Amino acid sequence: MNTVLQSAVESGPELWQSLWLTLRLAFISTACLAALGIPLSLWLNRTAWRGAVLIETLVTLPIVLPPTVIGFYLLSLFAPHTALGSFWLKITGETLTFSFSGLVVGSVFYSLPFAVQPFQTAFRAIPRMYTDAAKTLGASRWQTFREVMLPLGRRGVAVGLTLSFAHTIGEFGVVLMLGGSIPGKTKVASIALYDEVQKLNYATAHAYALTLLLISFVLILLMTVIQRKGVSIEGAV
């Protein structure tokens, strides 16, 4: 343990840089997932369009697809010679590949099902009589969502956001394929840990691993508390 602490102190700047980059990526990706995932989950729950099953399958695909496969196809899609990569390069002056922006896009796609599925479950559990009553009283769709659905589904939304945040922190295959290992730009904590293992610097690798373990434990604990609290309230009712 003393060796691990010593290595953590010695690699302090690099350790904190990679952790800050990881947390920054997780916060931005989670915010994007909230903005994208909540409307998408509401639409998937209420649409009668037959093609929605295809959309839902695509959203769920990252759960079973190897991260390296996702990373490879995103790398090909974001390349500067493609339409999307070229467009991004023109408006921002940087490529989507091997950039922090690319990591955000890749993380949002990879973590999308971990946000959308809890959102869908939470909103499906809301009795329809509440939303019908709101509509009867003249509430708009936005007012019904803000005043009825979001308060009643807030625990499921919180679980989805926490789960997607934790999932982003633990990403490896997608960020490695899409961003590589550029210090201060794409070298997140999971990549830094891998690099230290490759160098046989096991004490430093322990410092990275222990930090990620503690962060992940706290996040999963928070998610479990939210879920159990929700079950307790439903049981009391």
Torsion on CA atoms 205, 211, 215, 220, rounded to nearest 10: 60
Among all chains, which residue has been given the structure tokens 């302090």?
12
Give the residue among 162, 155, 160 at the shortest CA–CA distance from 215: 162
Angle between helices 52-60 and 100-124 (to 10 degrees): 120
pLDDT digits (tens, 9 = 90+) for 25-42: 999 999 999 999 999 999
Asked whether 85 and 95 are in contact (CB, 8 A), the reply is yes
The fraction of the chain above a pLDDT of 90, given in percent, is: 41
Alpha carbon separation from 60 to 39, 109, 116, 118, 187 (Å, rounded): 16, 10, 9, 12, 27
SS3 81: coil
pLDDT digits (tens, 9 = 90+) for 42-90: 999 999 888 899 999 999 999 999 998 999 999 999 999 999 999 999 9
Average pLDDT over residues 215-223: 87
Give the residue among 196, 32, 28 at the shortest CA–CA distance from 100: 28
The domain that contains 26 carries what CATH number?
Answer: 1.10.3720.10
Among all chains, which residue has been given the structure tokens 């995932």?
37
- CA 53 to chain centroid: 22
Domain count, the chain: 1
Other C-beta atoms closer than 10 Å to the C-beta of 152 total: 16
Q: How many Å is the Cα radius of gyration of the chain? A: 20
- Structural domain range at position 225: 2-46+54-236
Average pLDDT over residues 125-144: 87
The pLDDT of residue 204: 85
Q: Which amino acid is at 188?
A: V
